[in-house]
């Protein structure tokens, strides 16, 4: 069991950057793979990135590859999503998730979710 809290969202202009953070409490973060998903207005939850328990494996959606970087610091029970070259279509609520590193692109594969943090990219 783990509790997740995201932070770092905000309003940025096209081309700007944000760094999202997710802190875990409860069971140590190192036992979980971690992921980031977005939910844009009127759309379902969509995969952005995932990282394995040790951090040696990562996966990215094609739409964010080369722009976003997922990382983790297990000593701090933290996972991060650095977002660069932001586009208006990146707007949405961003959620971190914890679970096993398996079928990571599907939100159904993840056991635990944070409350989300809003990211708005102005056009």
In tens, the pLDDT along 24-44 reads: 998 788 899 999 999 998 999
Q: What percent of the chain has pLDDT over 70?
A: 100
Predicted pLDDT at 27: 76
> What does the chain look like in DSSP terms, one character per residue?
-EEEEEE--EEEETT--EEEEEEEEES-GGGSEEEEEEE-TTS-EEEEEEE-TTSS-EEE-TTTTTTEEEEEEGGGTEEEEEE-S--GGG-EEEEEEEE-SSSTTSGGGEEEE---EEEEEE-
- What is the band of 66 on the pLDDT scale with cuts at 50, 70, 90? very high
Report the pLDDT averaged over residues 55-65.
97
Is pLDDT of 57 > 80? yes
Predicted pLDDT at 87: 97
In tens, the pLDDT along 84-101 reads: 999 999 999 999 999 999
Per-chain mean pLDDT for the chain: 96
Report the pLDDT averaged over residues 51-65.
97
CA angle, 54 then 57 then 62, to 5°: 145
Predicted pLDDT at 1: 84
Predicted pLDDT at 26: 82
């Amino acid at each position: 069991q783990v509790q997740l809290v995201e932070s770092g969202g905000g309003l940025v202009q096209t081309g700007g950057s944000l760094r999202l953070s997710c802190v875990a409490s409860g069971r140590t973060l190192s036992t979980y793979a971690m992921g980031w998903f977005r939910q844009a207005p009127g759309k379902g939850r969509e995969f952005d990135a995932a990282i394995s328990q040790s951090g040696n494996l990562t996966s990215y959606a094609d739409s964010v590859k080369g722009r976003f970087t997922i990382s983790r610091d297990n000593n701090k029970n933290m996972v991060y999503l650095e977002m660069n070259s932001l586009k208006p279509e990146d707007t949405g609520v961003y959620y971190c998730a914890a679970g096993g590193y398996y079928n990571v692109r599907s939100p159904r594969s993840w056991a635990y979710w944070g409350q989300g943090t809003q990211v708005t990219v102005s056009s």
